[in-house]
Structure 1
């Protein structure tokens, strides 16, 4: 969240915080460079998508699907983990494998570098308090920046990767992820293997599935879950940033630092960042309250704690699900590999690896995190809303504030100088 006071609405900032268009919502959001590098290790292109560099990510993902498949790299990795080294060497196509190495290393290096650049750009955009346009209407789509539930995004990606991204507002990204998921599942015969596994026919699941294509799925699935979760969280924070700037500009334009010298009572309410804040302002203006008698300003966050879980009302602290998703990816891949030779097959062992790796990664994050932890951040007020009105109006105005989801209201007599 921006902590600097807005300077002037006439100054055009040089660094952007985010952009909303028919193609989706994107923002400059600070990210740990090591996490971006890890996702590039798991699957080239994922690190760039994690940072919002979607075009770069699409190119590397397509490259990975083509070159990895031509080199039979996934099959070689699976056979190597099973100790079948001679078969692994025979399976690999060295002509394609040599093309793989340079781009793979580049993806890791460049995603780390881009994360550092994004963090710098975010800091500079904070200094300039750059504006964000909160909606975009075109012939093809209507894109609106609004608060959404991160866990809803994760749920829809769990049902089918890509749906969570569409829920977050990223139409192009969601379409791409959904298309590549369908294609890889088809090539891997994954749906038939899933059906056989849950019917208990593990031998048929192992026989029919294509190892080379199937090993793409664990990393793709976990990343789709996490990227949907992170994307919704980032959009929620972008909404907070945009509304914070709007309220500051509004207060500056109305000259609300001046003393109000009329009226009988002041009503003070608190809100979380949401469209209801601006709705409440418009409601008061329609009821005849002068604009300069309505003050709405954002609170500054004095303490940012680390939380295990974020939700629509809890996006002001750093989530520590990064480590959990790293663990989920690693152990889902391992479960899938060894599932080809274990009794329950790759589907069941992949899901077991997903759950086990998630909680193991979470425990490791908790063990190494030095800050005071809470399971989830408590709901707290983010906007102070004050209006000056006549005594006869206060009951009706309080009802309006309640209908607009104010978290608290107090009535105070106006103090005259």
Structure 2
């Protein structure tokens, strides 16, 4: 990885790696083009949101809600799946439906094309070693690039779409997702239908639901969960990239100083990428250890296994949940459609389709994977820290390492 092209994050690069602002966190994370195209197939605008083009995504999502609802397209699709083709034709408003086709095709094509462009920009930003400012303070918010657990974002989005995005630091995206989730649930009468479903009154639940608006919910729900997961992973990766660059530039600057002194002991410790790395450097300097006696270097970890669930400790960039979430989306929609005529109703069958599709998609992903797969990502050592201090400061230095969550340490024999 190239580095040390820029010495200050005040220098604006030609190709930026990411941006931290009061509006949220975004990055040119390399993504798979066909996955972006798939999400545009599931719901126009989702493919653009997946790759970080949120303004495009917002516009296309609003377009989808307006044109689809005016054309009664969801109702026609549901009736077609149920074999009631004449009713589907009667429901469809052709004046609005004809406006749908061109924009729908554009969403799929443009999300694929934009993903390719984003991937190119990522490569160029790596070549240029573009710097990133890791925090933004304004009158409205304090946004700090920090490590977060991706599964926590998933859980919050399961409870209510939009909360996972807010947890990940994307204020505008989280607000938008939460707002249109509430709006569509209200139009579909989904909350009352869910209450009746869980109370066992399935006939009342199916009767009160608005089919046209309800069929938006499965795709929206699945994408909100998936997007919360991947966006937190991308922010964690952006944090690692920024800290790796900082440590390399710092090490290069310290290499120009004379580090040879007698009567010192060397402590070697390992850390994960986190704010604690920079805190421990500051603590050691306050203790009286000269800056050029504190060397921190990022490690290149070798990973031979693919894992299913990324964590705060490791992100491999090859999420095996892509196929699982695609299956969840498809079967959630089918479950909701056929739930209107089955006993348990659209809410229960939609949720069963979501879980069943997720499991089926995951099984297919595991079957076609050529590498050995583990469920959870393991911890890894990411930063090597070497401190040269006088024997009198040894015990205090070790206490600082423990306080700042070093994953391990040793004292080199003299």
Give the Å deviation of 1:120. 1.0
Partners of 2:323 and 2:67 in 1: CA distance: 29
Q: Which stretches of structure 1, 4 residues or more, deviate above 4 A after TM superposition?
A: 256-259
Partners of 1:181 and 1:129 in 2: CA distance: 39
Equivalenced residue count is 412
1:293-304 map, 5 Å:
293-303=293-303
3-state SS of paired residue (1:102): helix
> CA contact under 8 A between 1:314 and 1:376: conserved in structure 2?
no
Q: Residue 41 of structure 2 aligns with which residue?
A: 41
1:259-285: CA deviation from partner (whole Å, max 9, x where unpaired): 533442110000000000000000000
Give the Å deviation of 1:9. 1.9
Q: Are the structure 2 counterparts of residues 271 and 329 from structure 1 closer, same or farther at C-alpha, using a change threshold of 3 Å?
A: same
Partners of 1:111 and 1:124 in 2: CA distance: 20
Q: Residue 124 of structure 1 aligns with which residue?
A: 124
Partners of 2:283 and 2:183 in 1: CA distance: 50
1:182-210: CA deviation from partner (whole Å, max 9, x where unpaired): 10000000011101101111111111100
- TM-score, L = length of structure 2: 0.97
Give the Å deviation of 1:92. 0.4
> CA contact under 8 A between 1:304 and 1:316: conserved in structure 2?
no
Partners of 1:249 and 1:263 in 2: CA distance: 28
Q: Residue 51 of structure 1 aligns with which residue?
A: 51
- Structure 2: where are the runs of 5+ without partners? none
Q: Residue 7 of structure 2 aligns with which residue?
A: 9
1:164-203 map, 5 Å:
164-203=164-203
> CA contact under 8 A between 1:256 and 1:295: conserved in structure 2?
no
Give the Å deviation of 1:382. 0.2
> CA contact under 8 A between 1:307 and 1:317: conserved in structure 2?
no
Partners of 2:326 and 2:304 in 1: CA distance: 24
3-state SS of paired residue (1:319): coil
1:49-99: CA deviation from partner (whole Å, max 9, x where unpaired): 000100000000000000000110000000000000000011001111110
Q: Residue 215 of structure 1 aligns with which residue?
A: 215
> CA contact under 8 A between 1:68 and 1:74: conserved in structure 2?
yes
Partners of 1:46 and 1:304 in 2: CA distance: 32
Which deviates the most, 250-259 or 63-72? 250-259
1:50-129 map, 5 Å:
50-129=50-129
Q: Residue 353 of structure 2 aligns with which residue?
A: 353
Q: CA RMSD in A?
A: 1.4
Q: Residue 255 of structure 2 aligns with which residue?
A: 255
Give the Å deviation of 1:327. 0.3
> CA contact under 8 A between 2:29 and 2:122: conserved in structure 1?
yes
